[in-house]
Structure 1
Amino acid sequence: MTKYLHLLEEQRLSPKTIDGYEHVFSYFLRHLSLRNVSRILDIGEDDVLTFISSSQNSKQRVLATMRAFCRYLYEQKLINKNIDYVIGRNRYIVKEKLPSTYTCEEVLQIESSVNQSTPVGKRDYAMLLLATRLGLRSSDIAGLQFSNLDWDRNIIRLIQYKTKREIELPLLKDVGEAIINYVKYGRPSSSSKQIFLSSLAPYNPVNGAVVSLSVRKIICHSRIDTRDRKKGPHAMRHTLASQLLRNGISLPVISETLGHKTTQTTMGYLRIDIDGLMKCVLEVPDVPSDFYTQKGGLFYV
């Protein structure tokens, strides 16, 4: 498994993707241990298929990881049977779900619920606005540096962690004021280039998980009914996209705002603009009564 991970590094896969493979491998090793399988040569179809079937979360990722790994084992002649072929015939249906979105009123209530009297509150409020007003991902909020802010031109320019594409967004007044409020009155003294830091010593830069957890806590404590809806920065990203759609903003503009590689990715957000979709519905004309009596009505008896 370690050799395979090194191969992925040589193929220049992203660290996040490689971490995903390693995460699946750790659970697969535990699975093999419980089944008393101690040699690679002894790994069989049933070992792999039962592991995939027992996975509760991210089943598609587990399926893809195990398919690629089993193909590697067979190509390296470490196993005698091409288990990849067996896995390839199994498909797990992913139920289609609408993205979680919130109304403008709910977003305002979420933002106003933040207690900005504390350093953590000032930090979390600034991170929240970057998600609600600009639709930034948690990884990009965590990695935001002072050099990304152009105060003279009121612009935020950064290279996205996920897509590696550079995007340029307006540095809105509320967002800028929230960042200044945190930097001046809430941010610990640090030489770090990243804006957002942990609240406890040694005051390291936050990561995406911290951003997601902070936003989630704010939403949960805002007294908004969040049943059947996700509660994190990505839900705020979907919400921004839905509002842009309702305001009649074109797909290419939304795509640039969200930093998507293609407008095809942005097309997925059309599912949340129900009102817009309803406008595309064609009216069904009334059927005249003589339609059913033509030719004596025999055809419709």
Structure 2
Amino acid sequence: MDTTVIHLGGLVVAALRQAGYAESTIGQYEKTIRALDRFVDGRGGAYTSALGVVFASLTTSPRTGRFSAIRRFNYTRLVTLFDALVDTGDVPLSVRKRGGGGRRPFSDTFISLNAEWEAEMIERELADATREAYGRTARGYLVFLEEHGIVRLEDADAGTITGFLESLLDRWAKSSLFWVVSNFRPFLTFTGRRDLVDALGLVGIRRSHPVLSVMADEDVQRVVTACASRTVVSSRDAAITLLALMTGLRSCDIIDLRLGDIDWRSQTISLIQQKTRNPVTLPLPGLLLARLADYVLNERPDTGDDHVFLRQLAPHTPLADHATIHRITTVVFTAAGVTDPRAGSRLLRHTAASRLLAAATALPTISAVLGHARIESTSIYLTVDEGRLAGCVLPVPAGARS
């Protein structure tokens, strides 16, 4: 196989064009290919994986003399395609998720334990997002043990639990450690180490219950008005934002929504919610239905993938994660003139719940709509119902007013 950069680069560019990539994106690839060609030209003229590693490590911009994130991204992206092309003869254009799931243990015992935990989560049919959260925390603990010379769980004591949690405080706020504890406990229970589970409980980290943030009525109206205009917001972005605002769907459920989940005649969507595995059927209000239909008929890429929402640029794969939904809703908020930086599905979900409460909807109904496994989970939304909260206030005693 011809392994010159020019030949390999031509195959990559041809694959990109066939997949429908934008010319601006292809131009960035071609720029990087030229840089790689200059680099390889003085080192034998043929591309190798070893040269690719060195090239990808050239992350310092010659113009500024500083680290360049864009250079690292472009160089690494091209080297990944070149390596795959040399090894398999194909150009893989699937979108890689960010993050990689965090650091992984290296000892045989912990690699085996992690694999058993992964298999257990699959057997329990946990949602993908739940498995990712549980798995990342478990791997983080195992890596922490290895860093302290422990490669068998039998040698871990209660002190390793507090030590692991304390090691997270450089990147986690203490008030947020509840989520780590929540994700950590199932793994410790799985290992059968009751002493470690008890140690986790003795740490005393409790969940805080702040008053939830919701959108002001005027901001809701701005977003709805922007979503109603075909010239202001794309149909895809409008449909996604309205789904979160009008139905309270979680990001993971919006991402996983399939064409077969939509009943156009009855104007509803029916799905199994990823987090709770509960089935739910939700009505599609007129505006939401119109923007969704416009996206499917006129804007959605022509592909065999049955996910409703796809990337607008090639490769036309399903949306990646919660961060993607946040970026989309941020674009809509900006177009609508709303400056709230928390323009994510969580804010929209809270707002949907608050509007249901304002309409005197019963808590069991709201719980069903939001897909809560327990009705107690819905009670937190009472914190945004100012009318009902005011009814709980005791009158000031007469003596205190004088």
The TM-score normalised by the length of structure 1 is 0.79
* Higher RCO by CA contacts (8 Å cutoff, separation 6 or greater): 1
Unaligned runs of 5+ in 2: 1-113
User: Quick check: 2:243–2:249 contact (8 Å CA) kept in 1?
Assistant: yes
Please tell me the residue identity of whatever aligns with 1:47. T
Aligned length, in residue pairs: 280
Give 1:50's aligned residue.
163
Of residues 63, 66, 69 in structure 1, which corresponds to 2:181? 63
Residue 33 of structure 1 and its aligned partner are, at CA, apart by 4.1
Give 2:370's aligned residue.
258
**Separation in 2 of the partners of 1:64 and 1:36?**
26
What does 1:242-257 align with in structure 2 at a 5 Å threshold? 242-257=354-369
**Separation in 2 of the partners of 1:69 and 1:153?**
43
Residue 129 of structure 1 and its aligned partner are, at CA, apart by 0.7
**Separation in 1 of the partners of 2:270 and 2:191?**
43
Instruction: Name the SS of the counterpart of 1:206 in structure 2.
Output: coil
The TM-score normalised by the length of structure 2 is 0.61
**Separation in 2 of the partners of 1:286 and 1:48?**
53
Please tell me the residue identity of whatever aligns with 2:177. K
What does 1:89-128 align with in structure 2 at a 5 Å threshold? 89-113=202-226, 116-117=230-231, 121-128=234-241
User: Quick check: 2:138–2:187 contact (8 Å CA) kept in 1?
Assistant: no
Gap change, CA 1:286 and 1:65, over 3 Å in 2: closer
**Separation in 1 of the partners of 2:248 and 2:338?**
20
Identity across the alignment (%):
28
Give 1:293's aligned residue.
none
Residue 275 of structure 1 and its aligned partner are, at CA, apart by 2.4
What does 1:1-301 align with in structure 2 at a 5 Å threshold? 1-55=114-168, 56=172, 58-67=176-185, 69-70=187-188, 73=191, 82-113=195-226, 116-117=230-231, 121-209=234-322, 210-219=324-333, 222-226=336-340, 230-284=342-396, 286=398
Q: CA RMSD in A?
A: 3.0
Q: Identify which range, 180-189 or 250-259, moves more after superposition.
A: 250-259
Instruction: Name the SS of the counterpart of 1:31 in structure 2.
Output: helix
Instruction: Name the SS of the counterpart of 1:202 in structure 2.
Output: coil
Unaligned runs of 5+ in 1: 76-80, 288-301
Q: Identify which range, 236-245 or 59-68, moves more after superposition.
A: 59-68
Gap change, CA 1:276 and 1:203, over 3 Å in 2: same
Gap change, CA 1:260 and 1:66, over 3 Å in 2: closer
Residue by residue over 1:115-135, the C-alpha shift from the partner in whole angstroms, topping out at 9 and shown as x without a partner, is 8559x8321111001111221
User: Quick check: 1:220–1:231 contact (8 Å CA) kept in 2?
Assistant: no
Give 2:34's aligned residue.
none
